[in-house]
Amino acid sequence: MDRYKKLSKYLKEKYHARVHKLPLSAGFTCPNRDGKISKGGCIFCDPTGSGFATLGSNVPIQEQVIKMIERAEKRFKAKKFIAYFQAFSNTYASPEKLEKIYESALIDPRIVGLDVSTRPDLLQEEVLDVLEKFKKKVNLTVEVGLQTVNYKTLKILNRGHTLAEFVDAVNRLKKRNFDVVAHVIVNLPWDDIEDVVETAKILSALNVDGVKLHSLYVVQNTELAKMFLNGEVSICSIDEYVDRVITFIEYLDPNIIIHRLVADPPKKGTIFGNWNMKKQDIVRIIEEEMEKRDTFQGKKYGYLRR
Ligand code: SF4
């Protein structure tokens, strides 16, 4: 029995094939880095804006897509693909430019989906109009960074937005029937287990379609690296991480798809990442612990009066 709703199973059932996401970098930046909101960026944001798995924006998008498909066919025997605009904030441009960029990735009939990752304060109605056009062509998912519902922690992270902007973005996306995935870091050192529970409850109340759980990693040349190296912050143990993930899952609406249980730190420049463990080993530990506790997604989901 699956104790939580896995993305891989969901995609297989939906497309009857192995589906792989193609990480792409379109050369966007972020208002939290270019000075519009702040120059520092989020304290954990690596210099590639989480785009380290991409080929980099100096490679044209079409070439990135072709190469990533070849790689996914070879390594994962994938048959269908999702173009995933991952690096930085992928709605940070004029509607005309956005349309051109998204269109440039849809060059192969086996691309069944478009996945756009962004900040909650970059989803103005004119951006949603562009996304809506693509929703008619392929399955479209909008990934929105939140990290935590604790607004005090959001401030420490220098996110440059509060919970309100996230709630507003999700409400407007859901009004137009977009698929919404929220990014959460479960083990932020300033959050306790109650913040983790509240984050699961608010995401459930907002009816998001998916969640992506990350473990906090520390990368060179970030504000977090300075804080970590001078002892200002420490990262919790793997046992605590496992406990936080399981607690989050227990409070989460059982219909929400879980895209990931733990982050994938960059191969280069990581000062602390995943307790030096392989991602699949952490996933295995979480799943074994769920078995041991005989628990499952939504076990404590009774707080919404539906
Ligand atoms: S919003 Fe995203 S891209 Fe921008 S600074 Fe934060 S983590 Fe980096």
Residue-wise pLDDT for 43-89, tens only, equals 999 888 777 889 999 999 999 999 999 999 999 999 999 999 999 99
**Mean pLDDT (whole number) for 8-28:** 95
Number of Cα atoms under 13 Å in the Cβ half of residue 175: 10
Tokens 């690296």 locate to: 225
Give the pLDDT confidence score for residue 258 in this predicted structure. 98
Ligand 1 centre from 246 Cα, in Å? 26
Q: Is 146 in the pocket of ligand 1 (CB under 6 A)?
A: no
Ligand 1 centre from 45 Cα, in Å? 6
Binning pLDDT at 50, 70 and 90, where does residue 16 land? very high
Q: Is 28 in the pocket of ligand 1 (CB under 6 A)?
A: no
Binning pLDDT at 50, 70 and 90, where does residue 167 land? very high
Number of Cα atoms under 13 Å in the Cβ half of residue 195: 19
Q: Is 117 in the pocket of ligand 1 (CB under 6 A)?
A: no
List, as one string, the DSSP characters of the chain.
--SS-BHHHHHHHHHSS-EEEEEE--S---TTTSSSS-SS--TT--TTSS-TTS--TTS-HHHHHHHHHHHHHHHH---EEEEEE-SS-TT-S-HHHHHHHHHHH--STTEEEEEEEE-GGG--HHHHHHHHHHHTTSEEEEEEEEE-S-HHHHHHTT-S--HHHHHHHHHHHHHTT-EEEEEEETT-TT--HHHHHHHHHHHHHTT-SEEEEE---EETTSHHHHHHHTTS--PPPHHHHHHHHHHHHHHS-TTSEEEESS----SSSEEE-GGG--HHHHHHHHHHHHHHHT--TTTT---S--
Range scoring the smallest mean pLDDT among 19-23, 66-70, 266-270, 293-297: 266-270
Range scoring the smallest mean pLDDT among 52-66, 89-103, 280-294: 52-66
Contacts of 243 (CB under 8 A, 6+ apart): 193
Binning pLDDT at 50, 70 and 90, where does residue 146 land? very high
Q: Which atom of ligand 1 is nearest the CA belonging to 87? A: 3
Domains along the chain with CATH numbers: 7-293 (3.20.20.70)
**Mean pLDDT (whole number) for 162-189:** 98
Q: Is 41 in the pocket of ligand 1 (CB under 6 A)?
A: yes
This model's pTM is above 0.75 = yes
Binning pLDDT at 50, 70 and 90, where does residue 199 land? very high
**Mean pLDDT (whole number) for 129-143:** 97
Give the pLDDT confidence score for residue 232 in this predicted structure. 97
Give the pLDDT confidence score for residue 49 in this predicted structure. 77
Give the pLDDT confidence score for residue 298 in this predicted structure. 98
**Contact predicate 207/157, CB 8 Å:** no
Give nearest CA residue, ligand 1 atom 4.
30
The dihedral through the CA atoms of 286, 291, 293, 298 has a sign that is positive
Give nearest CA residue, ligand 1 atom 2.
88
Contacts of 303 (CB under 8 A, 6+ apart): 201, 251
Which among 238, 288, 235, 242 is positioned nearest to 261, based on CA atoms? 242
Ligand 1 centre from 296 Cα, in Å? 32
Range scoring the smallest mean pLDDT among 50-64, 168-182, 247-261: 50-64
Which among 154, 90, 148 is positioned nearest to 123, based on CA atoms? 90
Binning pLDDT at 50, 70 and 90, where does residue 172 land? very high
Give the pLDDT confidence score for residue 147 in this predicted structure. 98
**Mean pLDDT (whole number) for 149-164:** 97
Output the average pLDDT for the chain. Answer: 96
For ligand 1, mutation pick of 45, 116, 158 (most atoms within 8 Å of CB): 45
Give nearest CA residue, ligand 1 atom 3.
88
Give the pLDDT confidence score for residue 274 in this predicted structure. 97
For ligand 1, mutation pick of 25, 28, 29, 33 (most atoms within 8 Å of CB): 33
Give the pLDDT confidence score for residue 48 in this predicted structure. 80
**Mean pLDDT (whole number) for 133-145:** 97
